[in-house]
Each structure stands twice: as C-alpha cells, then as structure tokens.
Amino acid sequence: MRGMKFICGNCIQDAYLRSILQGKDRTCSYCRAVGPCHDLEKLGDACLDVLASFYEETHNTMAVVHFNRSPEGKDLQDTLQHLKVVADAALGDLVAETLRQWQDAQRDSPDEWEEEDDPWFKFNAVRVYRADHLWRQMERSLHREARFLNRKALDILDRMFADLHTSATSDGGPVIVMAGPGHPISRLIRARVFQTDEALDDALAHPARNLGTPPVGASQAGRMNAKGQAAFYGATSERVAIAEVRPPVGSWVVTAPFVLAREMRLLDLSALAEVRMDPTQSLFDPESILRAERRDFLRALARRMVRPVMPDHQDRDYIVTQVVADYLAGLGPEAIDGIVYSSVQVRRTEAEQGVNVVLFHHASGVYGAGQPYRADVHLWEYEDEGPGMWLDPRIRLKDLAPLEALRWSVGQAEGEAGESGFKPSLRLDVHGLDVHEVRQVHIETYPSRVDVAGTAEWAADGD
C-alpha cells in the first residue's frame, strides 16, 4: 500500500489551493509542521484537471511518433514546477502522484499508449471546442427557436460580456476605444454606389439625408442591423469605404465625410480577438476555466463578425451578429455606440490604412437629414461646340436665406432629435464630397489546380 503523504499550507505555493485548504490537523510530510494538511492525492487530482483544461499533450503527435522529433513544451516535472504548485521538497512526490493518476486515465482511454510513455505538455489556454459549442448553441437557438426574447442567447451573452468594459488585451490595451472629438477616430467616410445619372442627381440634392444613415424603416439588413433598423456603416479611409460597397465598373461612388459630433464608445473587434485572462488568477481556480471560455468565445465572435458572408446566405448568417449588436447597443449606461472591425474587401496592407466602423441606431443620426430645402445639382460639363463632356459635380442651394443656408451646412441645432427619437451624432462635411468614376475593379484570387484522376483513360477514349 502506498504511504500517504500530507502537505500543509506553508508548502503549497499556489494561493488558490492554499486558500481552500480544509484538511485535518496532521504533521506535514515535508516541513514537519502540525496543522491543517491536504492529502497529496487531492493535489495530484487538481493538477490533472489543470493539465486537461489548459494544456495539450505533445508526446503522442505524428511528428514525435513517426518522425522521432522532440515533443514541444515541457515534461511533467517541468510543467508542474512552472505551475508553482508546491515547494521543491514536495515536487517529486507530486509529480509521481500526478503521473500515476495520468497513467490510470490512459488505461481507461480507448487510445493506444505505452506504459513507458513520458508525457509532455504544452500550455494552450484556448478552449476552442467549448467556445465553438457555445456559439453553435446560440446560433441554433436563434435560427430554430426564437430570434426575439431568446432567453438562451441572452444568458450566453450575459455571461460572455460580463466584464467587457474592464477586459484588456495581452499588451494591456482596452477593447473599448473612445471615438469623437479629440480621439484618433473622429471622422468617418461613407460610400454609396449609383448606376444612373438620375440616382446620383437625387442623392446630391440632399446629401445629409441621402448619403448618411438610411431613414428608419428604409434600410436593408446588414451585418449589424436588421432590415428597417437604422445603422451607419462607414470607414476611416476612403479606399476601405469604396471597397466595402463593391461597385461595378461603369458606376459612380460618392464618398461623404461625416464628423463625429460627440464622444462615443466603440468595441474594437481586433482588440477583442486579443483579450487576455487575468494573469494573476490561479489556473486551479474553477473560475479560470469560465474566464478562458469567455475569452475564447469573444475571439470566436471577433472572427465570425468580420468573415465574408455570401449574398445568398446573408439572411441566415447575419442573424447572430445582428443580435449581438442589439445586445451591445442595449446595455443601458454601459451601452456601446458601435463596433470597429477590419475590412475583408482589401489586402491586409491596405486594411492597415483604414478600418470599418458601424454606429448603432442610437448613435447614427445625422444633423440636417430631416431638414427640407431646395438645391440644384449640376453633374456634367460640356465642351463648347463639341461632343466632349466630363463629370463636374456641383451643388447650388437656392431659395434659402443666408442664416438658413448656414444652418444647412452645419446641421440641426444642438440637442434636436431626429425622426428616430435620438439626438444626431454625425455632421456631414459638405465640402468633402467626392464622386468617383469606377473604371476598373481589381480581383485577387488564390487558384487551386483541380486534380483529375483517370486522365489516361480519358485520353484513350479520345483517340
């Protein structure tokens, strides 16, 4: 029978394990102090749980088994030493006890293993499978049960976004960034595509209304908004804004700059993908597993909210991201005004020069969008006594007193709510409007040659 080993709180280095020590008064097998002690078997069991939750085994990979390469990571002793579970005097016994339990688990496993196997482990806190399970669970519920008032989806989002405003990236940066006056993001470019002179003429006749946020009830479903729900989609650079609307050759794209009139809180998806766990939290604390699941769910969310969606699948694939956007916009005093995310329509080097920003309905109002006025639009200039013509867009206000014209240029009065009931948050810079003629569209592909079997037989048939 194995000799029982006991360990006291003074010989346990992990703060969490020490805090839950509730053993009987015994003599510690290592420092000989008398007091509450744990059976070392319980510590071995706790170590096995941490290894299963936060580490992956590397001694049984194809590279090691078939190509005789050295396993990644550390052996069991170095792994437990790195975890700083117990004092050095007890480390050897803890390694032996954990190895015994690990081997017992292998015997019960259907996978093949050798008794002399020396397990190696690599730290991998990513709980991808659990995060993907939560995501799929929410997707299924929204698709099959109820989109609105879906308690299952709400419970998942409540758990996953519980500490959103205090979350930080691996380098300590925030996932919530401030935008607006005095911040790096203070101006957004919105692009719209037009395929006829008439449509372009109508849009420029009232740019604050026609180039800004679509009116409530008139908007198409988007990645972050349901059909009919107002949202402002823009970018921090003109190139990204144009790429996002995917204009056909022969069309025109109008880019309109909008100034953020107030301070806003935006969720940065690229930062969300780098969110970290609290490095001071013990891996033995069950809460650390929940935090790891939450972090990996947020990383999965960041990936899924920016991945390309095929037009035929938009109605289905947009449901979850729309619900997430609604949830973030409805957090009361902690509400998020919008989301910053990278573009999938441009190369990575180009994307570094600009990002996409969507402002939720409560932050998408445009000053002056609901104000009536009359304007003449002039699109083309013609060659004197010749057939030549070129685009030369102009807007000329008419029948407006000077004070009214000034008000149109800067927007509605401060504090005036639009038709959505929210105060406007964006001002059109009417002097920054550009009309782009789309002459070429660059498509970048990654070809994969089709491997066709039986080509010799085909050739014979052809003969």
Task: Identify whether 129 is part of a domain.
Answer: no
Q: Are residues 223 and 308 in the same domain?
A: yes
> Given 3-state DSSP classes, what are the helix, strand and coil percentages for the chain, each rounded to the nearest 5?
40, 20, 40
Q: Are residues 342 and 450 in the same domain?
A: yes
Q: Are residues 25 and 97 in the same domain?
A: yes
pLDDT tens digits for range 235-253: 999 999 999 999 999 999 9
Task: Identify whether 131 is part of a domain.
Answer: no
Phi–psi pair at 30, nearest 5 degrees:
-120, -45
Task: Identify whether 289 is part of a domain.
Answer: no
Where a domain ends, among 97, 123, 149? Answer: 123
Phi–psi pair at 372, nearest 5 degrees:
-80, 145
Q: Are residues 330 and 421 in the same domain?
A: yes
* Domain count for the chain: 2
Which residues, in sequence order, are CB contacts of 313 under 8 Å at separation 6+? Answer: none
Q: Are residues 376 and 267 in the same domain?
A: yes
Where a domain ends, among 123, 151, 185? Answer: 123
pLDDT reported for residue 413 = 42
Which residues, in sequence order, are CB contacts of 269 under 8 Å at separation 6+? Answer: 301, 302, 305, 306, 339, 340, 341, 342
Where a domain ends, among 66, 98, 123? Answer: 123
369: nearest Cα among 335, 408, 330: 408
Type of residue found at 263: E
Q: Are residues 48 and 177 in the same domain?
A: no
Q: Are residues 95 and 237 in the same domain?
A: no
The domain in which residue 440 lies consists of: 170-280+303-463
pLDDT reported for residue 312 = 59
The mean pLDDT values, 10 residues at a time, for the chain of 463 residues are 80 91 88 92 92 87 81 93 94 94 80 70 68 72 71 81 79 89 96 94 90 80 82 93 92 96 92 78 86 79 73 67 85 86 74 82 89 80 79 77 47 46 84 93 87 66 53
Measured CA to CA, the distance from residue 48 to residue 161 in angstroms comes to 29
Per-residue burial over 185-214, b if 16 or more Cβ lie within 10 Å, else e, is bebbbbbbbbeeeeebeebbebbbbbbbbb
pLDDT reported for residue 415 = 44
Task: Identify whether 147 is part of a domain.
Answer: no
Q: Are residues 115 and 37 in the same domain?
A: yes
Task: Identify whether 256 is part of a domain.
Answer: yes
Task: Identify whether 138 is part of a domain.
Answer: no
pTM: 0.74
Q: Are residues 353 and 206 in the same domain?
A: yes
pLDDT reported for residue 276 = 77
Q: Are residues 177 and 59 in the same domain?
A: no
In the chain, the N- to C-terminal Cα span, in Å, equals 80
Task: Identify whether 219 is part of a domain.
Answer: yes
Strand residue runs (E) in 128-242: 176-179, 187-194, 232-235
Task: Identify whether 128 is part of a domain.
Answer: no
Q: Are residues 114 and 176 in the same domain?
A: no
Q: Are residues 238 and 382 in the same domain?
A: yes
